[in-house]
Amino acid sequence: MINIALFGAPGSGKGTQSKLLLEKYKHTYISTGDIIREEIAKETPLGKIVKEVVDKGELLTDEIIISIIEEKIKKGCKSDGFLFDGFPRTVAQAYKLDELLLKTGMQISCVISLDVPQEELIKRLTGRAEKENRDDDKNLNVIQHRIDEYEKKTAPVADFYRKQNKFYSIDGIGTIEDNFERIDVIIQQQIFNRKDAKTQKNDKDCRKMS
């Protein structure tokens, strides 16, 4: 089982790349952005709280996000793996995710970050606002705040996974196809390493028995 976390600031292309990864790997998809928008659209009690936070360009509290993610992991624990889009966003969330996965004998395989310059992010987000009529992409001050929040709170998460040798950064500038190929190379290497480790273990077990 390969569990992937896809990183990137708002407008980096995580959503687009996630769709392509799901087509190829059929993982259980957990997108905090999709969950949040669904709650807001349904005008649930949680959705109303979330909307106030999102409208300010701020991140949700760890407690709210973790409670949502935990439920999703329980429902999808029998799949071929998880694809996390936009999670974890803080070190506290990263620790909690490791804990939740460990309970089911799993772990994060790799964390892949799409790196895109700020000016390009802003250009993409304002363009998306016109095409998709998304309120959270219309206000430049909110956009800038969202990017700043991402960089401030997510940079330590990158260091958390670097220490585990699980963090990979790729250039997010290029065609959709180019970016997907860069991501897929990393995932294929994870799959190969996993198979190789399993083969080595089997060989070792056979030697013990002989």
Is the Cα torsion angle 130, 56, 47, 114 positive or negative in sign? positive
Active site residue 42: no
Long-range pairs for 176-180: beta carbons < 8 A, 24 or more residues apart: 176/13, 176/16, 176/17, 176/20, 179/13, 179/17, 179/114, 180/17, 180/20, 180/21
Three-state DSSP class for residue 146: helix
Active site residue 146: yes
Which tokens in the block code for residue 96?
């909690």
Catalytic residue (one of 14, 51, 72, 96): 14
Catalytic residue (one of 51, 72, 89, 96): 89
Are 116 and 9 a contacting pair, CB within 8 Å?
A: yes
Active site residue 14: yes
CA distance 97 to 110: 13
- 171 — phi, psi (to 5°)? -70, 120
Catalytic residue (one of 51, 72, 96, 146): 146
Catalytic residue (one of 56, 134, 194, 198): 134
Q: Which residues are catalytic?
A: 14, 89, 128, 134, 146
